[in-house]
Amino acid sequence: MSTDSLPANPPIKVDIWSDVQCPWCYIGKRKFEAGVERFGGAVDVEYHSFELAPDTPVDYEGSTRDYLSARKGLPAADVDRMLEHVTGIAASVGLDYDFDAVHQTNTVLAHQLLHHAKSKGLQAEMKERLLRAYFVEGAHVGRVADLADLAAEIGLDREDAVRALESGEHLAAVKADVAQAAAYGINGVPFYVIDGRYGISGAQDPAVFAQALDQVAAERADGASVPSGAGA
Amino acid sequence: MSDPEVVAVAASPLRMLGDAFVPVCVDDACIIPVPSNAGDDSRD
């Protein structure tokens, strides 16, 4: 279209650490997307793995309420109140969380699937599909067969996804993401690294993301307009 | 060779932007940090 006449601004890279079972990550995703829309420029998003509870069994028996009560020693009524609060905030950004249906599980395979999808150019689609499956549909996102079904839904080859998950092909990439988060000092998610220089923690308002992206774009423009002394 | 090699790239310090008191998940606890004069974190 008219892009030929626009200056060739490379997209701003945004690295996002998150976990599939992080309720604020899905809410933050919607807020970030709204921020990007407000920004209006090109953004290149890459999701990275962060395991909030790597010791959770794949087939955890019990509800989210049971899980949080057991892990945190909280009364069920308190947990219910918290989940209602999160559900309300999710609804405010258009997400219909159903904690009664959620299957608490281990997400290391889901993270490997995200890396597999990235290698096929479908990471964004896989991320959205996994989050919706977990929080909205009550699908299981910890087992190879269930994950492969979700992979096939977004256009990945099901058998290839099974192969990648069963072989642990992307496990090293997951662990590298976790190590990279530690290197940045990230201890909670969602966490956004913009242009490799700015960090944003948590499910911030869209305006925060838009402002940060505007700032990076402005700095790039300033840098481009300042003579470097190296010619050209 | 069964253990994958984990390689983290050295990371430059990040300049933090945004509100410090927003929802975030740490370990398996998802919290909304609140200013210290308002008491403990409210957990969600």
pLDDT (mean) for A4-21: 84
Q: Is the pLDDT of residue A25 over 90?
A: yes
Burial class (CB in 10 A: 0-12, 13-18, 19+), A212: buried
Say if B11 falls within a structural domain: no
Q: Please list, in sequence order, all residues whose beta carbon lies within 8 angstroms of the beta carbon of residue B16, skipping any fewer than 6 positions away.
A: A198, A199, A200, A201
Contact A22, A54 (CB under 8 A): no
The β-bridge relationship of strands A198-201 and A191-194 is antiparallel
User: For a pLDDT cut of 70, what percent of chain A falls above it?
Assistant: 93
Average model confidence (pLDDT) across chain A: 92
Query: What is the total count of domains within chain B?
Result: 1
B30 touches chain A (CB under 8 A): yes
- Which pLDDT belongs to residue B9? 62
- Which pLDDT belongs to residue A136? 98
Say if B6 falls within a structural domain: no
- pLDDT band, very low/low/confident/very high, at A231 (cuts 50, 70, 90): very low
Q: Is A69 or A201 the better-scoring residue by pLDDT? A: A201
Identify the three-state secondary structure at position B24: strand
CATH 3.40.30.10 correct for A10-216? yes
Say if B31 falls within a structural domain: yes
The β-bridge relationship of strands A198-201 and B15-17 is parallel
Q: Is A27 left (phi over 0), alpha (psi -120 to 50) or beta?
A: alpha
pLDDT (mean) for A214-221: 95
pLDDT (mean) for A5-18: 84
Give the sign of the dihedral formed by CA A79, CA A85, CA A90, CA A95. positive
Range of the domain at B35: 17-44
ipTM metric: 0.83
Model confidence over A69-127: pLDDT tens digits?
Answer: 888 888 889 889 989 999 999 999 999 999 999 999 999 999 999 999 999 999 999 99
Question: Per the CB < 8 Å rule, is B8 touching A189?
Answer: no
Q: Which site among B24, B32, B41, B42 would you substitute to test the A interface, given the most A Cβ atoms closer than 10 Å to its Cβ?
A: B24
- Which pLDDT belongs to residue A43? 98
pLDDT (mean) for A17-42: 97
B1 touches chain A (CB under 8 A): no
Q: How many CB pairs under 8 A join A and B?
A: 110
Instruction: Write out the two tokens for A33.
Output: 């997307």
Q: How far is B33 from chain A (nearest CA, A)?
A: 10
Question: Per the CB < 8 Å rule, is B25 touching A188?
Answer: yes
Nearest chain B residue to A86 by CA: give it.
B44
Q: Is the pLDDT of residue A7 over 60?
A: no
From first to last of its 44 residues, what are the pLDDT tens digits of chain B?
A: 445 555 656 567 899 999 888 888 887 677 665 555 544 444 44
- Which pLDDT belongs to residue A148? 98
Q: How far is B28 from chain A (nearest CA, A)?
A: 5
- Which pLDDT belongs to residue B18? 92
**Chain B positions in Cβ-Cβ contact with residue A187 (cut-off 8 Å):** 26
Contact B23, B31 (CB under 8 A): yes
- Which pLDDT belongs to residue A71? 83
Model confidence over A140-154: pLDDT tens digits?
Answer: 999 999 999 999 999
Q: How far apart are the C-alpha atoms of B44 and A30, rounded to whole Å?
A: 18
**Chain B positions in Cβ-Cβ contact with residue A105 (cut-off 8 Å):** none
Q: How far apart are the C-alpha atoms of A166 and B9, rounded to whole Å?
A: 27
pLDDT (mean) for A133-138: 98
Contact A113, A161 (CB under 8 A): yes
